[in-house]
Structure 1
Amino acid sequence: MVLRARTDFLEAEERQRLAEEAERNVKPNLPLSELPRLPVRKRNGCVGWREEAERAGRKAREEAEARAREERERAERIAREMEEERQRFQAAAVAERLAAIAAREEKARCQRAIEEEAKLARLAQEEAEWQAREASEAARKAQVEKEEMERRMEKGIQPVVIPTVEEVQLAKAKVQYKDDVFHFAVAGIAGSGKSSLINAFCGMNNRDPGAAPTGVSETTLEISRYINLAHSEQFAWYDVPGSGTLTIPDWQYFNSQGLYVFDCILVLFDNRFTMTDQAILANCDRFKIPTFIVRSKSDQHILNVMKDMGYDADEDTDCREQFYHIAREHYISETRQSVKNNLAEANLRDQRVYIISNKTLAGVAKDNWPKKIIDEVELLTDLYSTAYLSSKFA
C-alpha cells in the first residue's frame, strides 16, 4: 500500500511538471510576424487570419491550464492520501507499540501476582508448619509436665504454683490489704480452733460482739477479717476456711485461699499435723513469709492424758496437781517430737511449735496472767516482735 502511494505521488509530480512546462510553452501574445499566415477573407463575413489565430491560442491556453489544474488537483489529492496513509501507518505503529507495551506490562503484572500468591502461600504454609510444631511441642511439654507431676505426687512432692500479678492484686483486694498494716492469717484444718484463737489474740471471748463465730463444726467458709481494738491501726487478723471443708487438694489450698498476700501465717493444728499444714509451711518458705506452728486446746489435751494415766476427777482431787504436771510434760514432749518428725519427713526446716490454751492466751492478751502458762507469752512476744521488726514499721 505504501509503495503504491509512493508511485502515484511520483507520477502526479511528473504530470504536474509536464503541465507547467506545457503552460510555459503557450505563447498567448505572439507577435503578429510570428503568427501563421492564414488566408484573409473578405469583410463580408470572413474572419481574418489574426483573429483565427488568437482564438486558437486562447483555446490551447485554456486547455493547457485546465490540464494543469487537473494535474495539480490530482497531485494534491495523492499527496493528501499519502499523508493520511502515512498518519494511519504511524498511528497503527504507535498503537502496535502501545499494545506491545501493555501486553508486556500485563504479563509482568500477572507474573508478579503469581509470584506474590506463591510467596503468600509459602509463608502461610511455613506459619502453619510452625504453629503445628509449636502445638506439638506444647503438647509434648504438657505431657512431660503431667507425667512429672504424677511422678512427684506419687512420691508426695507437690508442684510449685506461682500466682500471677493479677491474682495477687485480686487476693489483696479480697482481704482489704493495706501497706501500713501487718496482716496475720490463721490457717489449718477444720475444727482446729482457729476462730477461738483469733478471739484470744484480739482480747475477746467467743461470745463477745464482733468475735469470730465458733462451733463444733467448721463455721468459716470465707476468709474473715478481725481487728484487735488495742492495735486497730497496726494489726489485722484473718480466719481462713479449714481445708477439710473445701473440695481443694492439699497442695492447692495455699494458692486457692490467697495466703501469699499475708505478712505472717499461723499454722494451727489440734490432734495431728496434716499434709495441708506441710503444704502451707513449704509455700511460706518459698514466699519468705514468717510462720508459727501452734497447737491449741492444750488444756483439754492434757486432761485427756491425765485420764489415760488413770486420773479420776471425782476420786483423785488431792493428786490432781501431780497428775497434771506429769501429763503436761508428757504432752509437751510428745507434741514437739511429733512435729519435729513430721517436718523432717516432709523435708521442711525444723522450727518451734507453740503449745497453748486459747483460754490462757486470752487471759495473757488481757494482762490477766493465769497460773498454767505454757507457750502463750512467748507466742505473743514472738508474733509482735516479728511484726515490729518487719519493713511495715521500719
Structure 2
Amino acid sequence: MGTIISAILQAIRSSNVGVSPTMSSISQHHRRMETPKNEAHRRAEVLEREKKGKADKAAKEKEAALKAIHRTNKLLEEAKANEKVMEEMMEAQKAVEAKWRKGVHPVEWPSREQYDMVKQRLYQDGKFHLAIAGKSGTGKSSLINAFRGIWDEDEGSAATDVVESTTIVTPYPDPNPANPFIWFDIPGSGTINCPDWTYFNDQGLYIFDAIIVLLGDRFTDGDLAILKNCKRYSIPTYIVRSKSDRHIDELIKKKKRRAGLQSYHEEIVDAARQEYLDKTKKTVQDNLLKTDPPLPPQRVYAVSRDILTSVVQANPLGHDAVVLDEYELLKDMLHDAYSRRSEKSWRVVQDLIKRAGIEVLRYLSPTTEPRSRRGDTFLA
C-alpha cells in the first residue's frame, strides 16, 4: 500500500495543479450575474441620450420645448413611481431575509466581494488546500500535525495545549516543500457568532479541495452544515474519528477484566478494534439519516494520531501497533485530490501502479490492513 501512495504522490508532485472546479463554478456564476447589470447600464445610457436630444430640440423651438417639458415631467412621475416600487421590493426582501434567519435556510452563493477576499487571503495557485473542521477538543491540531508528519512538540507544529478561541481559518504549510499541500485549521461554528447555515460561506470553506470533519461524541449542527454544503459544491469530505487508540484501549481493559487471566491478548485486541469500528460506523450513519433531508451514507475513518504520524514519516510500526483506517484515509485523500485538480489523467497513476507490480483493481478495492505494517512510505 505504501508503494501505491508513493506512486500517487509522485504523480501529484510532477503534475501541474489545475484550477479548482468549485472556484471556476463560482466565477462563472458571477459572470452570469453581471450580464443583466451591464444590459441595464447600457439601456440607461440610451435613455439619457434620448433625453438630451429632446432637450436640445426643445431649446430651438418653443413649441417643441413645451412638449419636451411635458414629456420630462411625465418621465419624472414614472421615475417616482418606480422608486416607490423599488422601496416596496426592498422592504419585502428584508422581510424574507428575516424569515430565513429564523429557520428557513436559502441556498446561497458567496458574493463577488466575499469570493475575492477569501481567495486573496487563503488561496495559493498550484497548491492543494486541505481543511480540518470540528469543535474544540476533538484533536484538530494534533491531526493537522500528524498529516504534516510532525509531532505536537516539534517546531512549527499547530498548538495543541490551548482552548480554541480563534474565529479565523489558520493555514499550516506542509514542511516538505515537495508536497503541494496546505493544511487549514477551521474554527468550530461554536466559536463563531453566525448561524450554522451561513457558517460555510462566511468562513470561505468553498475554496478547499477537501474537508475533514473531525467528530467528537456526536455531530454538531456545524458539522452537518459543512457536509451539506460540500455536497452542494462537490467538495470531497472525510468523516474522521480521532483519538481512536484511547477508545480502543478502554475497551481492551474492560474485555480483559471480564475474560480473566486465561484470555489471549491478541484476540481481545482484535475484538475491541472491531467493536469500536462497528459502533463508530453505526453512530455516523444514524446521525446522517436524522438530518432533514437525510444525507447519504458515508464512510467514517477511525484513526490514531501516533499511527498516522508514523505512517507519514515512513517509520516502521511496532508489532503491537493497532492500525485502523490511517492508510485508507491517506490513500483516498490523495486519490481524490489528484482526480479533482491535477492536469494529468488518472490513467497516468494507473500506469505507475502497474509498473510497480500492483493490479489497479486490487488497488481500488477496499482492503483490510494487518494490525502491524512496517516500512511503508507516504508523504515523507
Query: What's the TM-score bracket when you normalise by the shorter of the two chains?
Result: 0.5 to 0.7
Q: 2:84 pairs with 108, 112, 132, which one?
A: 132
Structure 1 stretches of 5 or more lacking a match? 1-107, 153-157
- Higher relative contact order by CA 8 Å / sep ≥ 6: 1 or 2? 2
Task: Specify the SS of the correspondent of 1:212.
Answer: coil
Are the aligned partners of 2:100 and 2:106 in contact in 1 as well (CA < 8 Å)?
A: no
- Aligned alpha-carbon RMSD (Å): 2.8
Cα distance between partner residues in 1 of 2:342 and 2:87: 46
The change in CA–CA distance for 1:181 and 1:393 in structure 2 (over 3 A counts) is: farther
The change in CA–CA distance for 1:217 and 1:144 in structure 2 (over 3 A counts) is: closer
Are the aligned partners of 2:130 and 2:211 in contact in 1 as well (CA < 8 Å)?
A: yes
The change in CA–CA distance for 1:316 and 1:243 in structure 2 (over 3 A counts) is: farther
Q: 2:170 pairs with 204, 220, 224, which one?
A: 224
Deviations 1:143-166 (A, max 9, x none): 3454355353xxxxx332211233
Cα distance between partner residues in 2 of 1:386 and 1:326: 32
Q: Which residue of 1 aligns with 2:12?
A: none
Deviates more, 1:341-350 or 1:115-124: 115-124
Cα distance between partner residues in 2 of 1:317 and 1:295: 32
Deviations 1:82-130 (A, max 9, x none): xxxxxxxxxxxxxxxxxxxxxxxxxx83x65554433322221111111
Q: 1:168 pairs with 115, 130, 133, which one?
A: 115
Larger Rg: 1
The change in CA–CA distance for 1:257 and 1:369 in structure 2 (over 3 A counts) is: farther
Q: Which residue of 1 aligns with 2:246?
A: 300
| Letter matched to residue 332 of structure 1 | L
* TM-score after normalising by structure 2: 0.66
Once the two structures are superposed, the pairs formed by residues 90-101 of structure 1 within 5 Å of their partners are none
- Confirm whether residue 383 of structure 1 aligns to residue 333 of structure 2: yes
* TM-score after normalising by structure 1: 0.64
Q: Which residue of 2 aligns with 1:248?
A: 194
Identity in percent: 38
Cα distance between partner residues in 1 of 2:207 and 2:336: 16
| Letter matched to residue 288 of structure 2 | L
Task: Specify the SS of the correspondent of 2:102.
Answer: helix
Once the two structures are superposed, the pairs formed by residues 219-368 of structure 1 within 5 Å of their partners are 220-230=166-176, 232-306=178-252, 309=254, 321-346=266-291, 347-368=294-315
| Letter matched to residue 148 of structure 2 | C
Tell me by how many angstroms 1:330 deviates: 2.2
| Letter matched to residue 232 of structure 2 | R
Task: Specify the SS of the correspondent of 2:342.
Answer: helix
| Letter matched to residue 338 of structure 1 | T
Once the two structures are superposed, the pairs formed by residues 103-114 of structure 1 within 5 Å of their partners are 109=62, 114=66
- Confirm whether residue 143 of structure 1 aligns to residue 95 of structure 2: yes
Q: Which residue of 2 aligns with 1:159?
A: 106
Cα distance between partner residues in 2 of 1:357 and 1:193: 10
Are the aligned partners of 2:135 and 2:190 in contact in 1 as well (CA < 8 Å)?
A: yes
The change in CA–CA distance for 1:166 and 1:221 in structure 2 (over 3 A counts) is: closer
The change in CA–CA distance for 1:233 and 1:201 in structure 2 (over 3 A counts) is: closer
